[in-house]
Amino acid sequence: MKALTLLGALLLSTPLFAAQLTLELGAQSHTWQTEALLKHSEVKTITVSNDVSYKRTMTYRAVPVAALLTGIKSDDHLQAVALDGFAAEMPAAPLLNTEGAQAWLAIEDPAKPWPRLSADKPSAGPFYLVWTHPEAANISPEQWPFQVSSIKRLAPVAERFPALLPDPALKADDPVSQGFALFQKNCLACHRLNGAGDAQFGPDLNIPFSPTEYFGADFLKRYIRDPQSLRHWPQAKMPGFSEAVLPAGDLDKLVEYLTHMAGRKVQR
């Protein structure tokens, strides 16, 4: 009985730093524990206005993401994977910025837990990629992954998933080609298309049908802007994409890409 009491006292008095973040960066791969990140030489307290996940101003202990990306170059491609299967595809260049829009890895201290995202959801921890001054680089909500478990250096999306590619005869400045770039930035973190992609979060956007095949263009755009305006569902997870995040011209190009890909179905 005394032994059990002593064990219980030790457990209560010992901080639990069980969370870990895996950085798969080739030769520079590393696994960080919460405790080590909270003691990182560059950790500081930051204030994030209009936090994408909490919808209010938040304060975090955080490390500049650039300080963790040892050996990464601006033309590299990274993927941040969350515990729920969200997989944000991210060019390295914005993550390496130290001025303007700057990326930070916010670290949840088990002794000072963050609030829940909602009554039925946990917090954004243990690790959350946040931005200060995101407006300086048009950072989208999909570039704020929370509950991050790993960050990996990978080949670009077009190389890994050729089934996502539009007709190769199209020029780079074609609206469909530009829509493909917008799809990678805003949709691929949650959705696959033609079975291609790493996300495990949302449905495939082409197999068996593209949303352009069962939504009129105007209603599809309305759905992307505000999903709850068409399908009111308390458990829905898809965020709306405002004009500030996805301007009308970009939304048109994204829909053009989806429409184009409806004619390029690939069963995997």
Question: CATH number of the domain that 144 lies in?
Answer: 3.90.420.10
Q: What is the pLDDT of residues 53-111, one digit of tens each?
A: 999 999 999 999 999 999 999 999 999 999 888 888 999 999 999 999 999 999 999 99
Q: Residues 212, 127: one domain?
A: no
> pTM for the complete prediction?
0.80
Q: Is there a domain that residue 50 lies in?
A: yes
Distance CA(58)–CA(54), nearest Å, equals 8
Pick the closest to residue 199 from 93, 100, 46, 80 (CA basis): 80
Q: Residue 66 in contact with residue 95, Cβ under 8 Å?
A: yes
> What is the structure's pLDDT at 243?
84
Q: Residues 243, 256: one domain?
A: yes
Q: Is there a domain that residue 1 lies in?
A: no
Domain boundary among 99, 123, 154: 154
Q: Is there a domain that residue 9 lies in?
A: no
Could you tell me which residues are beta bridge partners of residue 63?
A: 105
Distance CA(12)–CA(84), nearest Å, equals 29
Q: Residues 105, 56: one domain?
A: yes
Residue 234: other Cβ atoms inside 10 A? 6
Tokens standing for residue 233: 């569902």
> What is the structure's pLDDT at 8?
44
Q: What is the pLDDT of residues 118-148, one digit of tens each?
A: 888 899 999 999 999 998 888 888 899 999 9
Give the residue carrying structure tokens 């080609």: 177
Give the domain range for residue 140.
Answer: 18-154
Q: Residues 60, 179: one domain?
A: no
